[in-house]
Amino acid sequence: MDLSKIPNDKKLYLCKWYFRGKIPGFVFLPFLWAVNAIWFAKEAFIEPHYEEQKQIKRYVIFSAIGASIWSFALLAWIITFQTQRAAWGEFADSISYIIPTGIP
Amino acid sequence: MAKCLHYGYLLIFFVINLVAAERIKDMIYMNFEGVAACFRRHNGTHQFGCSYKASRSGSVGVIHLVEDEDDIRWLEHNATAGDYTVVLTFSMFTRDILLQLKNMNNINGVLLAKNSSQPLPEFYSPEDTCPNRYSGYKQCNDDVLVDWNPHGSSLLMEDWPFPMFYTENQTLVEAVRSCFLKHNAHDIENQQHRPLCALEMKSFMFAAINSESCIKRSDFKLNFNPTQFCDPLGDRNIYWPLAPINQDKNSVILVTARLDASSLFDGISPGAGNVVTGLVTLLATAYYLNTLAKDAVVNKTNVVFCLLNGEAFDYIGSSRFIYDLKEGNFNALGGVNLKFDDIKSVIEFGQLTEGELFLHSNNAQNDEVIKKIQVALNAKILEGSVPPTSVQSFLEERPNLTAVVISDHGQQFKNKYYNGILDDAESLNFNKYSAILMSDGLATALAKIATSVAEILYEDVFGARPFVDYDSSHLVEFYVSEMLKCYLETAKCTLFQAASSPNAKLANQVLSLYVGVHRVPNTATTLTGQLLAFLTREEVSNMTEAMCYENHLIWMAGINNTGLCINSTVNYSTAMSPAFIIDGYDMKSGMYSTWTESIWQTLSVRMFLKPSAATERLTMILGSSVAGVSFILKNDKLLGIRCGPHINGTVGSSRGRGCSSN
């Protein structure tokens, strides 16, 4: 979708929609936040001023913060899990979806 | 138009070439057929055997023929061509050398090559110096220094981080050697600049850590795509009672022998001196006792012959047998529950050869049968000695049980290849031609043991000396030498053929006596069970094949392949360790055997010419550049190529036709 071709109020609606995720479990949508932050970055900071821009800017910033916190947490978990999996033994196996073959 | 025609011809030319020519894969690689792989096993606490670190795609190493210590030192300090695959002969296949290789980090595989022109090694036993060290009655603790197997190198008790393969195919050995000499051996200091002869080994093992974890991983229910990681070892025990078991009170003499051997390599466990001699003697004893006792009636003592399986792995068969007896679950003999208290004494046939015999005796001072056996065989008594065989399990359960092992060794095995791949007909000096003439020393010796024991058992059971005619005792020797042929030379032999269904296809090879995993029935066990049934048969005459099956009897080929209906009381029981059937058993407790075998997908070896590192780099750079350039070329925006019609107002795919430059 080309953002330049849609009206401003629709842009705000879209940005909000991406931020809230529409469904209650919006906190689990870090990828949606990341997309939102990148996609609307130009609208929020570069485009000339228009009425809804302030709100869009807010959503973009929050999306960016949310996405980075999420990716940091995810990265931390992935590193912990991958390095400690063998040491955790049976517990690690029980929370794994795919168990690697041939290694502890 | 003419141009198009040319292209057409060219296309046809390529297609024909593609279809008809040798595949590129076959031009590059030489596949090794008939190589035996070392694989991974687990017990409750550890991991044993071989597997390459963690790569399914196989491990590649430049071939290096190791003939002496200098070659090892060269590999450790001067080698330049990256990872190596070491080719060893038996003289270098020792614990010290292999541990040295394990500690170096540039070894990607070991190929053990049997060179038929070289003499056999003085000894080679990958087993522990004290087999089944941590299980049974008299374990080998540090305070009791008993080295039953003085030549044992414990190679089976190590975890090797590289694949190992074994070959005795002289064509392959020669191919490896000549490839090494041609490409690798000259100007060896600068070998990394040339293409080098290399081996690729695939023997990736799925299981890891220990039995407990790999079984739990196999049972993991949450996974939608469950993978098998390992299987418990086990098979079947074989039983044959001389007479039907009583419903209430029994007094049973157990005559046992082991049915399985082991080795480091898959598919080769000949166990000739270790297992076959005792096994054949038991079969011959059963046969002879059955002939003697044809019409007699048993009054108080009964004899049960049993062949126990998986004994090389912490006494799987015997421990399960005893577990079943104790739990009241043992009813393989005519559906009657036999109890452990019914066992009067245990007589085990251990490793046997010609020459001096020993009786490892426990609580047998007052036992008439044992005394007579000692006199008849002129055996030397070793009081309180418990070799690492099945009696360990029986004595562990009841230390005051009368139990003896008849064997050819005293406190140390005479067998130089115990549980090794070389424990075969050659090591026993078994000669098929002399066996045909029935003057074979081994067959005579085993037959003598069998007849003596059978006659003494007869006397004890029936209370009178048997009527012995020369012919029937002579026949025992004939059967012994025939059986030795079956187990030592090829399974495609007269007796196995006679004991199978008519037209059964038997493999023309020496049976592997490795117990294997419990869910795959072992051929050696099946054939041995049928052979025991054949030897102790009660023939039912005037039966056709169909009638025979209708009456739930067994239809066998018979000696002259005419078909034979027999009634047999031979039966099997499961020989899988109780550890796997007891709920919540602690795998680390060491009470029962916990051995499992890993699952694998492929075991293969192939040889090829590996380009030098410089060439490999060049190929990589060229490949990446081509990929990069094509990626740039494809990107239409960069070169300003506009493609296709506009569909729904968007720019069409650059893959579409009708691209034009603007």
E strand segments, B25-72: 30-32, 36-37, 41-42, 47-50, 59-65
What local confidence, expressed as pLDDT, does residue B373 receive?
A: 95
- Counting residues of chain B whose pLDDT is more than 90, the rounded percentage is 70
Name residue, tokens 């049980």.
B401
Query: What is the bridge-based pairing of β-strands B564-567 and B107-113?
Result: unpaired
Contact A101 B229 (CB under 8 A): yes
Shortest Cα distance from B159 to chain A (angstroms)? 13
pLDDT band at B654 (very low <50, low <70, confident <90, very high): very low
Confirm or reject contact between B210 and chain A (CB < 8 A): no
Question: Does the structure show a pLDDT above 50 at B662?
Answer: no
Domain boundaries, chain B: 23-205+603-616, 234-490+504-524+569-576
Instruction: Give the nearest chain B residue to A96 (CA atoms).
Output: B223
Contact A93 B217 (CB under 8 A): yes
Confirm or reject contact between B305 and chain A (CB < 8 A): no
Model pLDDT for residues B445-471, shown as the tens digit of each residue: 999 999 999 999 999 999 888 888 888
Q: Mean of the pLDDT values across residues B30-56?
A: 90
Model pLDDT for residues B341-365, shown as the tens digit of each residue: 999 999 999 999 988 999 999 999 9
What local confidence, expressed as pLDDT, does residue B136 receive?
A: 87
Does the model's pTM come out above 0.90?
A: no
DSSP assignment letter at B559: T
Model pLDDT for residues B405-447, shown as the tens digit of each residue: 999 999 999 999 999 999 999 888 876 555 454 456 899 999 9
- In A, residues 63-92, which contact B (CB 8 Å cutoff)? 89-90
Query: What ipTM goes with this model?
Result: 0.73
Instruction: Give the nearest chain A residue to B224 (CA atoms).
Output: A97
Q: Whole-number mean pLDDT of chain B?
A: 89
From the list B54, B205, B220, the residue facing A93 with the nearest CB is B220
Q: Mean of the pLDDT values across residues B514-521?
A: 94
Contact B220 A104 (CB under 8 A): no
Category of A96 on φ-ψ map: left (φ > 0), alpha (ψ -120 to 50) or beta: beta
Shortest Cα distance from A58 to chain B (angstroms)? 31
The 3 state secondary structure assigned to B264-311 is: CECCCCCCHHHHHHHHHHHHHHHHHHHHHCCCCCCCCCEEEEEEECCC
Question: Does the structure show a pLDDT above 80 at A1?
Answer: no
Which of A22-31, B595-604, B627-636, B640-649 is modeled with the greatest confidence?
B595-604
Residues in chain A, total:
104
Tell which CATH classification among 3.30.750.24, 3.40.50.300, 1.20.1060.10, 3.40.630.10 matches the domain B234-490+504-524+569-576.
Answer: 3.40.630.10
Model pLDDT for residues A3-60, shown as the tens digit of each residue: 878 888 888 888 887 777 655 445 557 888 888 889 888 888 888 888 888 888 998 9
Shortest Cα distance from A102 to chain B (angstroms)? 4
Contact A99 B54 (CB under 8 A): no
Residue in B136, B134, B147, B126 with CA at minimum distance from that of residue B45: B134
Confirm or reject contact between A6 and chain B (CB < 8 A): no
From the list B54, B222, B225, the residue facing A102 with the nearest CB is B54
Contact A97 B223 (CB under 8 A): yes
Q: Count Cβ atoms within 10 A of the Cβ of residue B451 and give its class: 0-12 exposed, 13-18 middle, 19 or more buried.
A: buried
What local confidence, expressed as pLDDT, does residue B653 receive?
A: 43
